[in-house]
Structure 1
Amino acid sequence: MCTGSCAKCLGVTLIPLAVLGALANILLFFPGGKVIDNNDNLSDEVWYFAGILGCGVLMICPALVFLGLKNNDCCGCCGNQGCGKRFAMFSSIIFAGIGVLGAGYAFAVSVVSLHRGPKCLSNFKNRTWSYPFVDGNYLTDRNLWDLCLEPENIIPWNLGLFSILLIISAIQIVLCAIQVINGIFGTLCGDCQCCGCCGGDGPV
Structure 2
Amino acid sequence: MCTASCSRCIAISLYLLAFISIVCNIILFFPGWSVQYAMNGEIMKEVKLMGGLIGGGLMVLCPALFIHLTGKHGCCGNRCGMCVSILFALLGVAGALYSFVVALWGLLLCKAKHEYSHYLSVMTDTDWCTKMKHFNTALFSILLVTSVLEFLLCVTQMINGLFGCICGTCKNTGILSWHIYSANSPTFPFPLLSSK
For the 8 Å contact 2:43–2:119, the answer to whether it is kept is: no
SS at match of 2:22: helix
Structure 1 moving runs of 4+ over 6 Å: none
2:66 aligned counterpart, secondary structure: helix
For the 8 Å contact 2:44–2:118, the answer to whether it is kept is: no
Contact conserved, 1:117 with 1:155, CA < 8 A, in 2? yes
Q: Secondary structure at the match of 1:41?
A: coil
Aligned to 2:99: 106
Q: Distance in 2 between matches of 1:150 and 1:118?
A: 15
**Runs of 5+ in structure 1 lacking a partner?**
76-83, 133-145
- Counterparts of 1:1-204 in structure 2, within 5 Å, are 1-37=1-37, 38-73=39-74, 85-117=78-110, 129-130=117-118, 148=126, 150=128, 153-193=131-171, 195-198=172-175
Cα deviation, 1:131-190, whole Å, max 9, x if unaligned, reads 69xxxxxxxxxxxxx984545720110100000000000000000000000001011111
Structure 2 residue ranges without an equivalent (≥5): 177-193
Change (3 A) 1:167 1:39: farther
Q: Share of identical aligned residues, percent?
A: 37
1:16 shift after superposition: 1.3
Q: RMSD of the TM alignment (CA)? A: 3.1
Q: Structure 1-normalised TM-score?
A: 0.76
SS of aligned partner of 1:196: coil
The two structures have a TM-score, normalised by structure 2, of 0.78
**For the Cα contact (< 8 Å) 2:22–2:52, is it kept in 1?**
yes
Aligned residue-pair number: 175
